[in-house]
Structure 1
């Protein structure tokens, strides 16, 4: 899709009632230059478009969304920040590829635009991914500059058939083994797929679903990335146990041809009543109770992801961040910051939730709105967000994920075993890091 001017839409009477008392603070309502926002097509786009409508309605300022497929949005952003002047004033940067924008020096620190600007204290910080220390080349809230404001909290969450849990007397699982047992019970009793996981190759798909397994088993991509140690550990015994469990669930409780499953297919299985569980980004919850899309309205529940025995739940962060490119005039930077500041305010975040968006502030998750049956995912978000983990903090992540998408997919497809998959991925990632100039290495190959 090309540029799409956002025009006012009808708002439900529930939303309208709350918006009647939502008034933009004077400092953010002043006239600003028009802004152009590049964004991806996604399940949460409509909610964001609605809140942009509200911004225009309240302030009289103009905002335009340039909507693109996932990969297309990334490519437009890469081109824009390298041009003499960016055509975009706000980049909606994916939580997987933000390191490229950070380390490239393409984003303006927000306090450089306005020295008095600060992050609202109720905004979640997503494993400190909002700050970047350019001298240390690390994500660090203590020493780094604030470069972005989160716009969507897309972490992974377990969607499950709460009605079937009640029917069969099942308890919420703590471990992956308990999840597998529940999935098999429902699969055998109801003749539906026990557990759906993404395993198709994409820009990022199976890697995002595998990472919570990896982290909960105590595995990691690098030995100590946070402190600059990029020795590759993806082929550790812990990573092997995580992959074996991932494969066991796919084989014993998954659908036919599990290696072909992508996000859209997982959602389709759930909303048509053909699956008992699925790991999905939280934004997909908006489709579960939509009578125009779902045959299981009111039947889907949400839980934090299970973990290895003795480990901790570690949902993968795939959030989205709003950043302002350096290569635009000061007036446009001020206008972009005015929108981001307005967006992060508690009252805006409550409205964002009510308009179908996924809020990034505790203000929306801790109020009465979060306790409504239709918002039953929100209490789980309160539990899950503090435990969510970033995947990597280096721009080479784009190359690394291309390796893991292929290796993990081949393992699920049965083309190679888990040991060969991890050894081969570790070797390729080590080469990527060597070629990029990092001091690196890797663990000895796992033995079959």
Structure 2
């Protein structure tokens, strides 16, 4: 089965999903059945489990959840797929793994439609990972976006506004470096699990480029790709707005530079926000921290790299209808909102646009969800395949070698990477 690549197909799937919020199926037709769930360890998912008694009472369905730590989760899912024992009815799958686990899950579009789930409330960048071909196989429950975090006090000291474009990032960063002791922006250029690609991808999209064409062949070595790569490398080597040593920075190094007060801007995942003002690990206070949607290239659309966890029903489940009933409850925006607003919790993650735009949610979280929604409104997301990890290794090596000076010809480096990836993809 082919992973969905057509934006039109995604839009059609979203448009077909307008419906009301979840309600238990009348008459409790699945009472007495047990839905067994295999989920990655997550405080968000545990918050859902803490509320599952209401679902059990409304439906008569019993719910059992097994958690697996992230480093072991893919292996556990693969074992469930290969074993085919039907030990679980519902599983959580990270976006990058979906293409290799398509045989583990089954289509659920008919059942989810009956549940009244509003698919249009999910951003397309998250929703695409629940689609295989033109069929719905899973629903987003956990998702991350990138934001531009910045030091409000340093911006004020330098007399500059929050940049809306990457071109303005350079201007603001240079002004901050002239007025303060901080570097302009902390960026990752070193190799580690593709972390040096996550900002670069925004520039690639912003210049009108992409990784692959409709046939799955590499096109990142186009003129748009060359411009994006030159821009990213120039932040370090020409504009000199990144800290010394950034050529080997991985994501955590960039985060640490910001937390230690050495950099004024940091494009990174939104879940990192709690670290940035934690007095046990950061010198920054809440009053000094600002955030905004990722900058654009010129007047282009906003973009963001995303990470998505979908939940699907296993192909071997004996309790398909009860499992779909559970998914209907699990993906109800009211459940997500309840967790977001729980004063006893500190759960930031949201995948429903309605919650990201919610006034109470943004009042509690300082507007971070509205900033995320701004990016997600126009973000397409990324297609992953079985060969994604090998592709990442090739791409991150090219970026790292250009940043370190090992290579100095951007087009030649991208052409070589494209040739190698074309061979990988066959």
TM-score scaled by structure 1?
0.78
Per the alignment, residue 326 of structure 1 pairs with 315
State the partner residue of 1:185. Answer: 175
For the pair 1:107 / 2:92, whether they are aligned, the reply is no
1:98 counterpart residue number: 98
Residue 128 of structure 2 aligns with which residue?
129
Partner of 2:45: 48
Alignment of 1:13-92 (within 5 A): 25-27=23-25, 32-39=33-40, 45-56=42-53, 59=56, 61-70=62-71, 72-85=72-85, 87-92=87-92
Q: Would the alpha carbon gap of residues 115 and 377 (structure 1) be closer, same or farther in structure 2, given more than 3 Å must change?
A: closer
In structure 2, do the counterparts of structure 1 residues 275 and 84 end up closer, same or farther at CA, with 3 Å as the change threshold?
same
User: Are 1:345 and 2:335 matched, yes or no?
Assistant: no
- What value does the CA root-mean-square deviation take over the aligned residues? 2.9
- Residue correspondence of structure 1 range 10-409 to structure 2 within 5 A: 25-27=23-25, 32-39=33-40, 45-56=42-53, 59=56, 61-70=62-71, 72-85=72-85, 87-101=87-101, 104-111=102-109, 116-121=114-119, 123-127=121-125, 128-132=127-131, 134=133, 144-223=134-213, 225=214, 229-251=215-237, 252-298=240-286, 299-327=288-316, 329-331=317-319, 333-354=320-341, 355=345, 356-372=347-363, 374-409=365-400
Alpha-carbon displacement from aligned partner over 1:274-325 (angstroms, at most 9, x marks no partner)? 3211111122223334445443232221112122224332212222222222
Structure 1 CA distance, aligned partners of 2:180 and 2:87? 53
Once the two structures are superposed, what CA deviation does each residue of 1:329-360 show, in whole Å capped at 9, x if it has no partner? 322x4454343221221211211322413111
- The answer to whether structure 1 residue 424 and structure 2 residue 416 are counterparts is yes
Gaps of 5+ in 1: 1-22, 135-143, 435-448
> In 1, are the aligned partners of 2:130 and 2:139 still within 8 Å (CA)?
no
Q: Deviations over 1:386-426 (max 9, x none)?
A: 12222225333333222212222222222222233211110
| Paired residue secondary structure (1:96) | helix
Which deviates more from structure 2 when the two are superposed, residues 354-363 or residues 78-87? 78-87
Does the residue aligned with 2:216 lie in a helix, a strand or coil?
strand
Contact in 1 for aligned 2:115/2:325 (Cα 8 Å): no
Structure 1 residues 334, 357: CA separation in 2 closer, same or farther (over 3 Å shift)?
A: farther
Counterparts of 1:148 and 1:199, CA distance in 2: 34
In structure 2, stretches of 5+ residues that fail to align are 1-20
Aligned length: 390
- How far does residue 131 in structure 1 lie from its aligned partner after superposition? 4.9
Distance 1:284 1:174 in 2: 21
Residues of 2 paired with 1:202 and 1:89: CA distance? Answer: 34
